[in-house]
Structure formats: structure tokens, C-alpha cells
Structure 1
Amino acid sequence: MRRVRYDSPGGPLFVEEAPAPEPGPDELLVRCEAVGVTLPVVRKVTEAAEPVPLGGEIAGEVVAVGADVTGFRAGDRVTGLCFGHGYADFALLRQAMASPVPETASAADAVALVRSGLVALGALTAARPEPGETVLVTAAASGVGHLAVQLAKARGAARVVGAVSDPAKAAFVRSLGADAVVAYTDESWGEPVDHVLDAVGGDLLTPALAALAPGGRLVAYSSGGGTIQAYDLLVGAKSVIGFQMARMARDEPALYERWREELWRYLATGTLRPAVHGEFALEDAAQAHEVIETRSNRGKVILRPRGGPI
């Protein structure tokens, strides 16, 4: 089979031939039809001290299962988060991370929806918005952000604002249902909001916090770091909550499963419309990473392995 890897931090991505992996006792071997490209994985290529496997969201057909797997069998269509080599024709998926893909959903839908959708839904739930309140979403055109905009509307937000790095993304974000779109560089982000879902971090935390109304709540789920001044919280009685999807998957599996089912329902009813910015062959993984690095995507960026015989 083919897989993508790199030899040194920041080094070029390349495709190599490798044996298909054998599933462990609780693992599924999946023939990959679609692989999601995410910012955390892209950052690992440049920031990790040593080369790491390029994992991430995968969707495809189960071709083999481990001895302890009970919920899946060969021929099932699944999606989930791969912690090993995911940029590959075949990848391993832990049973606990696997979700069945409905017949009506494509592999691209599955990759665009489930993991990114879980992060979006989890961050929104952490904000605890009431119907009729207002929500601002940073990185609103991203794989997670474009779903968060739609979910905020679906859960009754009276007004949803999308914040983007490039004003050229405004039309796309409005097409998702956003009532307003602001650029990060705008002097003002408009009327204060009750909640901010922040996927960017860093220097953007300051204007994101300033966008909150008194008593507002910011949910930080970015891997980009950043610092908040305590005084900025005190003067407006504002609060900040951190959200991490990995912890939820590990510590609250029942809630994790309910969220997955909710996302599939939203897809089936047309409430959620996952957008795919582009599809790239494994050989073009570097181009896919560049789209994410330059934050030029509108929706999900996907790799399309060939997924031939083992």
C-alpha cells in the first residue's frame, strides 16, 4: 500500500510503499476512501521534535477486524480518528473511535462531518447558549468553524457572527446562515455577543474576548495557545472555558456517541451541510497542507487514497 510520511521536522512530504498494517485486538483495518486534513496534524509536521505518523480523520470500508472487535465486521463503512498512519490506502482505527456511516452519507460527508462536527458541537455545548442568545465563531470558514456556524443556528441562536482571516470568505460564511461576517483586522467586530467559539487562539484571543458582552463566555478549543489578561475577565465578568475533544472521547463515551448520532440526524434532515474545499491525491498531500497553512480553505480539505487491494 501507499502512505505519506516525512523524514525530518518541516521536511517535505512524500509517498512510500509500505505493508498494510495488521489490526490489533481492538482495531479495525480500514480501506481509506477519504482522509481529513486538519490544522493540528499540519502543525505537527513543522513543530514536532521528531517525525510523527500523519493521522487524522478517515472514512472507508472495513476489510479486517481484531480478535476483540464485536461491533463491526468486514464490509462495514466507518469513520473515525486514526492515531497512526492515516494518510494511507489502509489505516487502523480503534473500535472505540469508530462510527458507522449511514448508507445515505458519502465518505466525504463522513470525514467532513463527524470529527470536525463533534468538535464544533462539543465547543458549542460547552458554551451553554440559551435559545435567542448570540454566538461568534472564529475561523468560521474552516472545517470545524463552518459546521459550528450551522449548529449555532440549529440550536436556536438569534444571531450568529462569523469571524474570518480574509474578507473574501464572507460570502461562503453567509451562505452557511451567518447573520454577519467580520474580518480579524476590523477595528470593531460589531455588537457584543453572548458567546465566542474560538479555534484560532494566539493574538486573536484579545479581540475575541473584547467581542463578548458582559457576563459572556469564550470557549477556547485551539491548539494555537495564547494569553488572556485577568483584568479583561474581571471588568466584564467574562469567563473562558477550554474544550478538548480527546478528553470527551476518552472520559465520556456515552455523550460522545450521543453527539455522533445527533450529527447524523442533522445531516439526514439537511440541517447540516458539510462543505468540501478540495480533494487531493496522496501524492498531493503537500498542496493540501498548504491550503490549511495559508487558511485559504472554505470547508474541509480531503485526501483521496486509491484504496486498492491489500
Structure 2
Amino acid sequence: MRRVRYEANGGPEVLFTEEAPAPLPGPGQLLVRVEAAGVTLPSVLHVREGPSPTPLAGEVVGIVGAAGAGTGFTPGTRVAGMCLQDAYAEFVLLERSQAAPVPEHARAAEVVALVRSGPIARGVCTAGLVGRGESVLVTAAAGATGALVVQLAKAAGAERVVAAVSSTAKTAFAFGCGADEVITYDRMPPPEPVDVVLDGVGGGLLDPATRSLRRGGRLVAFARGGGCLHTRQLVARNASVTGFQMAALARDKPALFACWRDELWDWHRSGVLHAPVHAELPLAEAAAAHELVESRRNHGKVVLTASERT
């Protein structure tokens, strides 16, 4: 089988494709013939920053080829989940705890765009207590997760959703996801304050994000980039801040995670939720996929395709 790896940290150019034997599933594992795999910003940053080369992780969707003891799955089942190593490959191993059946009707790229980002977007809106008639600011609104956050905030009844993006080139895309207003980061905070900020950027953007809140407002921080909050900004606004991580919720409350996941597929099937895909590239073009994500030029999910369904 083909798989993508790297031997030294660096930019997208360090990725290479190699031939390797297909892995064998052990107890609690599934061997999956991959249709598509997602490219995540954490994986892109890990390739560049280290600490050392490790097999690449990512969301995958495909067909179970073989199942280890105790999985409860049978060959031929279509599944998706987070693959923790060697996700950029024609065959991968999925842990039973990471795998879930997915609808036959859904396109592989859309499944990849939803399987991780969908529950994150659902959890972020829930953590922010987004309610009917409220105003919401969403940062990183043109990314794979942010685009879904915009849609779910509108579905929750938000009257005004402000999408914050890195460049004006992403304006039309953000409006297409349902945003009522679109601003670039250099124009934050927006002229009119908001009830809720859902921040997927962090870092230096946390301060203007906090200053975007009206009195009694709420900020949800879910960015990998971290950052520091000035508590005086919270105190002056009687505002609150909540941190959210999907992996922690999935580990601590698996039943709730499964409920959210099923709910998202229902919304996708009914047309309430659209999973935007920016590009679908073959495994051999993994470097180009990483360059797209690292440069922040993508509008939605970047996906690597490994095989066609039969």
C-alpha cells in the first residue's frame, strides 16, 4: 500500500510517499480501506515544529476490510473516525473507540469534513449557550470547523452572526455559510459588540475578541494556539470565559459525544448543515494539501483521497 510520511521536521516539502505493507488489526482494532483522509492544522504544525517525526494523524472514512476481536464491526461496514497514526495511507488501523458507522449516501470528502469538525462546532455552540436572538462573533470562520460553527450558530437561532476571517478573499465564502456580517481580523472588535464570541484562533486575537463582548457576554476559547486573556477586560464587562476541547468531552462523556455525532448526520441529511470542502487531492499531493492549510488559504476542509468505493 501507499502511505505518506516524513523523516525530518520542516515545511510541506519534507513529506514523501512510500510503499509499505498493510497493517494487521489486533484486538479492538479495525483495518480500514481508506476512501479519504482529512488534513488538520495540528498535523501540519507538527510536521513543521516537531518535537520529532511521528506518523501523521487525521480523520478517515472507508470500508472495514478486517476486524480484530471485540470490535463488533463486520467487514464491508463503512466507518469514519480519528486515526492517530499513519492516517495518510490506503489502509489504516482504527481503534474501536474512535470508529463509528457513517451513512452510505454521504460523499467521502463531506464525511471527513464532518467527523471531527462537526462535533467540535456542536460543542462550541453548546459551551457558548448560543440562544435565539443573540449576536455571535466566530473567528477562523472560513476554516473547516469555523464554517460549521457559523451554520450551527444560525441554526441555534442567533439573530446576528459576525464571521471574522484572515483576508477579504474569504468574505464571499463566509457569507455563503450564513454569516450576516464579515470582518477581517485587523477590524476587530466589530463596531457593534456581541453576546458571544466563539474563538478558534487564540494568541494575539484573544484581546480584541474579548473586547468584542458586550456586558454580560460569554467567550468560548477552543483554539490550539492558546494565548493570554486580560482579566480586566472580563471584569469590565462582567463577562465569562469557557475553554472547550472535543477530545476531553469524547473521553469523559462518550454517550453525549455519540448523541451529538448522530444528530449531526441527521442535520447533514436534511440539508440543515453543509460540510464545505475546499480541495480533494490524491495522496501523492499531500505536500500541496499541507501548503494550503498552513498558508490559511483554504475555505473549508482539505482532503486527501486514497481510493474509490467499489
TM-score tier, shorter chain, comes to over 0.9
SS at match of 1:74: coil
Question: What is the distance in 1 between the residues matched to 2:32 and 2:123?
Answer: 26
The one-letter amino acid of 2:135's match is T
Q: Equivalent residue for 2:58?
A: 56
TM-score, normalised to structure 1's length?
0.96
Amino acid at match of 2:148: L
Deviation (angstroms), 1:106 = 1.4
Partner amino acid, structure 2, of 1:56 = G
Quote how far apart the aligned CAs of 1:187 are. 5.3
Report the count of equivalent residues.
308
Kept in 1: contact 2:33–2:63 (CA 8 A): yes
Q: Distance in 2 between matches of 1:190 and 1:287?
A: 38
What is the CA-CA distance between 1:306 and the residue it aligns to?
3.3
Q: State whether residues 35 and 304 of structure 1, in contact with CA within 8 Å, keep that contact through their aligned partners in structure 2.
A: yes
Correspondence for 1:251: 252
Q: Deviations over 1:178-235 (max 9, x none)?
A: 1000100115423111111111111011111111111111111111121111111111
| Residues 1:3 and 2:3 are matched in the alignment | yes
Q: Matched residue of 1:53: which SS?
A: coil
**Corresponding residue number in structure 2 for 1:190:** 191
Match of 1:156 in 2: 157
Instruction: State how far apart, in whole Å, the 2-side matches of 1:227 and 1:294 are.
Output: 24
Query: In 2, Cα distance between the equivalents of 1:77 and 1:68?
Result: 17
Counterparts of residues 12-161 of structure 1 (less than 5 Å): 12-70=14-72, 72-161=73-162
Q: 5+ residue gaps in structure 1?
A: none
SS of alignment partner, residue 266 of structure 2? helix
The residue matched to 1:144 in structure 2 has which SS? helix
Q: Is the 8 A contact 2:189 2:211 kept in 1?
A: no
- Does structure 2 retain, via aligned residues, the 8 Å contact 1:90–1:307? no
How large is the RMSD of aligned CA atoms in angstroms? 1.4
Contact map agreement 1:9 1:45 (CA 8 A) in 2: yes
Q: Where does the alignment leave 5 or more consecutive residues of structure 2 unmatched? A: none
Contact 2:267 2:273 in 1 (8 A): yes
TM-score with structure 2 setting the length: 0.96
Match of 1:290 in 2: 291
Superimposed CA distance per residue, residues 254-309 of structure 1 (whole angstroms, 9 cap, x where no aligned partner)? 00001001100110110011111001111111111111111111111000113799
The verdict on how the C-alpha distance between 1:23 and 1:31 changes in structure 2, with shifts beyond 3 A counting, is: same
**After superposition, where does 1:150-299 map in structure 2 within 5 Å?**
150-186=151-187, 188-299=189-300
1:133 and 1:158 in contact (8 A); partners too: yes
**What secondary structure does 1:195 align onto?**
strand
Q: Distance in 1 between matches of 2:189 and 2:226?
A: 23
Determine if contact 1:89/1:307 at 8 Å carries over to the other structure. Answer: no
Alpha-carbon distance in 2 for matches of 1:103, 1:21: 25
- Give the conservation status (yes or no) of the 8 Å contact 2:188–2:209: no
Separation (CA, whole Å) in 1 of partners of 2:246 and 2:309:
32
Rounded Cα–Cα distance in structure 1 between residues aligned with 2:308 and 2:171: 36
